[in-house]
Amino acid sequence: MSRLRWLTTGESHGPRLVAVVEGIPAGLALLAEHVDEHLARRQRGYGRGGRMKIETDRVELIGGVRNGETLGSPIAMTIVNRDHQSWLDRMGAGPLPVTPEPLTRPRPGHADLAGGLKYDRHDLRDILERASARETAARTAVGAVSRRLLAEIGVRVFAHVVSIGPVDAARLDLPADELEARARASDLACVDPEAEAKMKDAIKEAAHAGDTLGGVFEVIATGVPPGLGAHVQWDRKLDGRLAQALMSIQAIKGVEIGDGWLAARSRGSRVHDAIHYDAGGRRFTRPTNRAGGLEGGITNGESVVCRAAMKPIATLKRALPSVDVGSKESFDAAHERSDICAVAAASIVGEAMVAITLADAVLEKFGGDSVRELRRNVAGYREQIEAF
């Protein structure tokens, strides 16, 4: 059903991450810089630990792109894991001279134990290397390609952080451009400078207590044509697909669209967006966007707005009780180095997942094997609905 197929591969301390994405039309301008920009954004953020500073991710385009343009063939991108060199004796693919000491102590809140049981691995490193959020660098790369595609038809995706721990940002009624600019300028991708200061304080306090924090980010897509997704079958509904995309990000435990949980507490007359008609622009408009741009699983022409709730990072200095899978003895899981808060980074991954989902929905609706064909099909549709 999806026209875009994509897979990521690679372990956190393996030689490389690889991202493959297939179904992007030919003729799309695509440079490594387009991807590197977002890889860098994913790595920054107040409250991140040491590793982020060591590595500056750079993508290498090794398939599907020639002379700065896509060819219609599958796009392959790799990102080198710079610290793989120091892990060769433990993470090499070939038989290792000495079998590495197994990691037998599962961390609560991670895939370690559940994955070990599932895949029958007693060295839990075999699980955590892939479960690590390092994988999201590859998603970000696929997202960057999707963003380039969406830009061709006037769709833009950005995210901002709306809360860190108990600190909420104000809901500012600003144009999307301004929100995006502020989020880009902020260490925490937060558009409300006052809240940002408090968020930093909360992170500092958590760090001091050997603890970690989560939070909530919002992803906004502007310029989205009405008619993406479909009401006709459960798995064609775009709201469901966005929910999957966001919930699949490491550490995300909640997703909402538009007013979401607030809508569930309000009366119907306060929730649904009135329909107006703008005769000049020949389009139906809404004075409000409480639906987050989706009705019946279909985009309605307003901005798509989703939020995702991230749990606090599960690797912390404070002890969490756990059990050694070998000896079955209890121990306290405590860790020296860790991020304290990665919500800003996760928001960039959220942008990527929303961009991929929308790009897929665009290609499904409009087809097209070249950017020219896609643009022509979109333009024809836009005329059609203006004359509806």
Site for a second copy in 316-335 (CB under 8 A): 316, 318, 320-323, 325, 328, 330
Nearer to a second copy, 175 or 387 (CB): 387
Type of residue numbered 249? I
Which residues within the stretch 57-86 sit at the binding site for a second copy (CB under 8 A)?
A: 60-68, 71-76, 78
The DSSP bridge pattern shows strands 16-22 and 75-80 to be antiparallel
Nearest to 384 by CA among 283, 294, 301: 283
Nearer to a second copy, 183 or 361 (CB): 361
Q: Quick check: 36 binds a second copy (CB under 8 A)?
A: no
Q: CB of residue 178 vs a second copy: minimum separation in angstroms?
A: 25
Of the candidate residues 55, 176, 223, 254, the single one contacting a second copy (CB under 8 A): 254
The residues near 139 (Cβ < 8 Å, ≥ 6 apart) are 8, 19, 249, 349, 352, 353, 356
Which residues within the stretch 337-356 sit at the binding site for a second copy (CB under 8 A)?
A: 353
Which residues within the stretch 131-170 sit at the binding site for a second copy (CB under 8 A)?
A: 131, 139, 163, 165-166
Of the candidate residues 119, 171, 174, 178, the single one contacting a second copy (CB under 8 A): 119
Q: Quick check: 120 binds a second copy (CB under 8 A)?
A: yes
Please give the angle made by the CA atoms of 38, 238 and 157, to the nearest 5 degrees.
Answer: 25
Of the candidate residues 40, 52, 113, 181, the single one contacting a second copy (CB under 8 A): 113
Is residue 192 a contact partner of residue 319, using CB atoms and an 8 Å limit? no
By CB under 8 A, which span of 41-49, 148-156, 180-188, 213-221 interacts with a second copy? 213-221
The residues near 332 (Cβ < 8 Å, ≥ 6 apart) are 319, 320, 321, 322
Q: Quick check: 198 binds a second copy (CB under 8 A)?
A: no
By CB under 8 A, which span of 45-53, 104-112, 147-155, 177-185 interacts with a second copy? 104-112
Is residue 124 a contact partner of residue 112, using CB atoms and an 8 Å limit? yes
Of the candidate residues 55, 152, 187, 369, the single one contacting a second copy (CB under 8 A): 369
By CB under 8 A, which span of 17-25, 43-51, 173-181, 183-191 interacts with a second copy? 17-25
Nearest to 80 by CA among 32, 143, 30, 21: 32
Residue 10 backbone dihedrals phi, psi, to 5 degrees: 115, 145
CA distance readout (Å), 108 to 41, 223, 319, 371: 28, 41, 10, 46
Distance from first CA to last CA of the chain, Å, rounded?
27
By CB under 8 A, which span of 35-43, 48-56, 147-155, 230-238 interacts with a second copy? 230-238
Q: CB of residue 387 vs a second copy: minimum separation in angstroms?
A: 10
Which residues within the stretch 260-319 sit at the binding site for a second copy (CB under 8 A)?
A: 260-261, 263-269, 271-277, 279, 284, 291-292, 295-301, 309-314, 316, 318
Nearest to 157 by CA among 291, 267, 303, 360: 303
